[in-house]
Structure 1
Amino acid sequence: MRSTRTRRATAFVVLTLAVATACAQPGASPERVATPAAPSDPLLGPADPATGDTVRVGLFNVEDNPQADLSSTGDAAEAAAAYANEHLGGLDGHRIEVVRCADKIDPQSATACAEEFVRAGVVAVVAGQPTTSDAVLPTTVGAGIPWVGSSPLSPSEIASEDAFFFGSGAVGLLGAYAQYSHDVGYDNVTIYGVESPQVLGLVGTIGRSIFARAGVGMQVVGVPAGGDATARVEEGLADDPDAVLVIAERSACQSVLAALHTLDAPQTRLLGTGCVDQGIIGALGESAIDNAVVFAVGDPSGDHPEAQVYRTVMQQYAPDAEPTGLTTLGYVSMLGFIRAVNSVGLPDGGEVSGEQVAGALREARDVPRPLGNSSTFSCDRSHLAPQLVQATICTSEVLYTTYTAGLPGRYDKIDVGPIYGG
């Protein structure tokens, strides 16, 4: 369906113009997704329903687990697919059916998800925010199914040439932390990382190398996923660092922020988006993140057309989902995947295969990045550390903002490519 490329590009231009002139809106399974928006909705652009054969796309994301439930991240991914089916012509004309399988933080159930994806004949697996990718990716990639997302973290994700990411994830976050620390003149920092082999291994290898390159001293302190982190946080403050950095999911981040608040630590906090969802702010109060610098895959709160589209998509297709924090990762992962494939197109005729989708991804260039404030991404090469990362990280830009009174300010961009030697 390569003939649809011009129609898709025109649709995106019309959408952008429609959003720019419209009023801004406020900020597990298919039944979580609401009734599609009316075709005439000016923020979503004109109706362009998918009319071709259905293609299945896998969705793997942490949910249905008492330790962590990021169902909103999965809901945002499904919302993006529903939006594309009604307004972007689906996946190059094909209607998208999402096959959603929960990452229950259990390798055995993750292996079952891998088998389900292969059995269902998905053409790609979209990673929301998983923790057991290593139990899924080798099987799906081995079956010719590409892996796509916005937050690479696990060894299998970073080491796979068939993985594509529309955000730079923890790798980019480390680079952004290091570059920012260098730029503002920090001499030494403490990184609090959730006690996970993936996180601590990444920080201990790539992190140490990047901070050394930036000329900033750093120490790593592991913190539990839940419970009281005060003792560990106090340990990390013993050398009086200039700033504290956090790489953790929601529960661990809340524990670290609570401890920092209790200890009245004066250090600037450098955080990821998982630390600033409304649940954490509601539990700890605005002062716990006041003046924190937050690094993100995108800007969901501003007046840019991309942010307005995001808020409207969430209102229309996933109104019960929490739109802040890690929720944006699901949206960026799914919509980035759809835009990348649609920018290149798929061959006419026959069933769509994972190999065809991977080929389109490898050709995608200068694609508008969801929530990227006019940034683009290109997957024709990896933009970060090719000597360290085999996956294709399609952008080296990270957005960041400072929170005041519980709200983000204007987002700026930082390019972490140079610090990785890119």
Structure 2
Amino acid sequence: MTGRRLTSLLAYVTTAAAGASLLTGCGVLPGATGGSREPVTVMTWAPDQTRATNMPGMPAMAQTYARWVNSQGGIDGHELRVLTCNEQNTGAGAAACARRAAREGAVAVVGSYSQNGSAFLGPLEAAGIPYIGGYGISEDEFTSSLSYPVNGGQASLIAGHGIQLAESCRRVSLVRPDTVAGDRLPDLLNSGLRKASHRSAVDIPAVEDAGEYTEQAGRARDKAGADNGCVTAVLGERTQTFFDSFRRLPAEGKNGGSGRKSDPVRISSVLGSVAQPVIDRTGGAHSPFEGAYVTGWYPEASDKSWAPMRKVIQEHAFADNRVDPADAGVQTTWIAYTVLKSVVEALDKDRITPDQIIHALDRGARVDTGGLTPSLRWKYEDLLGAPGLTRVVNHQVTFQVVRQGRLVAEKPGFVDVGETVLTAP
């Protein structure tokens, strides 16, 4: 073979190989048929490395999900591309993430966390991008027509927690953030307490990102009292800080002096403020949370319904310790991506657009989450319609308790709190 012919052949082989590489980068996946389907780009955001609540596991779970689904040939032949963004626990940060989602062609924002709903929903609505399965910390998520929540948010948790506490607590103190979102919590807790003809809780606002809570802890204990009193704290990531201050309080005798080894006040919280990773970090069976009541959205982390998620994490998280299967943010992200996958598969289109996803969800696409939630559907007749919470379709919660360092079911199955939420002021 002449030198010129050999050079030409090598050039052809190199060009062909480069072309194949480019095609793979554009979304031709193992198991995909023909490679004609365009990638699906979405975004997942959450705050990270801030002084308030951080949720790094949610973007990490989104990336893990993408690695898994793409190893299976994508979603109905579409490569899933996940953009992540640090929302920074600020309105400006949330708005910046939303604008970036629009700029980079995201067809949905999926499984994200932000307290700044009013800041991010405006840009998403202007761009026509749906918000699927947000964590539920912002009430704006439950009013926007482009929001498709997978849980009942803080409202369902707090109302349900009132029902849970009413069965065991004579008096209740509530320590909650001194924020706009926190201002609604006392009414919601009291709506659950009143369902059992219980007296209202004592409301104790607290700075969300304080370094210690000795003053609030002392007041909460005093108001709850030693006779079957309960102290509940809903401070997100700072809940651990609060209960650390709480357990350091000096014991009080009958006349105010020391003399009692410990107070029989029961502590409690909701999922997200207390979760299995927090219990593990603070001593497991010797944690200050031992015996605590906890209200959650989903089955306890050891429930068999979580087995598919656990398998994906084990095989595709690559020892990323941010992806904890017992974390409520990770769990919510898994469910949110389950919704996305179900809708994209049902559409069966070569190109997926935000409008197609919105239309499918509004027209009644039903999503089976494998027992992690009730069947989800967002048609008008499925919406709860409570003031400020019109978009709630899942108003079920679970009652859990910490026993021997593990969050386990206090009562089997789900508890419907829709009627209780509707009666809250």
Tell me the TM-score range normalised by the shorter chain. 0.7 to 0.9
**Partner of 1:192: helix, strand, or coil?**
strand
Q: For residues 203 and 67 of structure 1, do their structure 2 counterparts lie closer, same or farther at Cα, with a shift above 3 Å needed?
A: closer
Residue-pair matches, total: 369
The 5 A counterparts of 1:263-342 are 263=249, 264-274=262-272, 275-283=274-282, 286-299=286-299, 301-304=301-304, 306-318=305-317, 319-322=319-322, 323=324, 324-342=326-344
Q: Distance in 2 between matches of 1:150 and 1:180?
A: 25
Separation (CA, whole Å) in 2 of partners of 1:153 and 1:370:
24
Distance 1:383 1:291 in 2: 36
Residue 175 to residue 206, structure 1, CA distance change in 2 (3 Å)? closer
String of CA shifts for 1:285-305, please: whole Å, max 9, x gaps: 53311111222232363251x
- Residue type of the partner of 1:293? Y
Name the counterpart of 1:32.
none
CA deviation vs aligned residue, 1:46-84 (integer Å, no higher than 9, x gap): x96685210111112111435443212221122223333
CA contact (8 A) 2:58 2:112 kept: yes
Q: Which has the larger radius of gyration?
A: 2
Bigger RCO (CA 8 Å, 6+ sep): 1
Task: Give the letter for the 1:84 counterpart.
Answer: V
| Structure 1: unaligned runs, 5 residues or longer | 1-38, 40-46
Match of 2:15 in 1: none
1:177 aligns with 2:178: no
Secondary structure in structure 1 of the residue aligned to 2:95:
helix
Alpha carbons of structure 1 residues 395 and 387: separation in structure 2 relative to 1, 3 Å: closer
Q: Relative to 1, partners in 2 of residues 1:287 and 1:106: Cα closer, same or farther, differing over 3 Å?
A: closer
CA pair 277-80 structure 1, distance change in 2 beyond 3 A: same
Q: How does 1:367-378 map to 2 (within 5 A)?
A: 367-369=367-369, 372=372, 375-378=374-377
2:115 aligned counterpart, secondary structure: coil
Alignment of 1:47-196 (within 5 A): 52-87=37-72, 90-182=74-166, 184=167, 186-196=169-179
Show the counterpart of 1:34: none
Contact 2:41/2:81 (8 A) holds in 1: yes
Distance (whole Å) between structure 2 residues aligned to residue 334 and residue 192 of structure 1: 30
Q: Distance in 2 between matches of 1:363 and 1:262?
A: 54
Q: Secondary structure at the match of 2:287?
A: helix
1:79·1:331 contact (CA, 8 Å) conserved in 2? no
Q: Classify the secondary structure of the residue corresponding to 1:238.
A: helix
Report the TM-score when normalising by structure 2: 0.77
Give the alignment's Cα RMSD to 1 decimal: 3.0
Is 2:192 aligned against 1:203?
A: no
Residue pair 2:94, 2:114 contacting (<8 A) in 1 also: no
Equivalent residue, structure 2, for 1:249: 236
TM-score, normalising length: structure 1: 0.77
Query: 1:244-278: per-residue Cα shift (whole Å, max 9, x none)?
Result: 2222212x110122133223442333322331343
* Alpha-carbon distance in structure 1 between the residues aligned to 2:39 and 2:390: 28
- Cα separation, 2, equivalents of 1:309 and 1:165: 21
Structure 2: state its 5+ residue gaps: 1-28, 250-261
Q: Which has the higher strand share?
A: 1
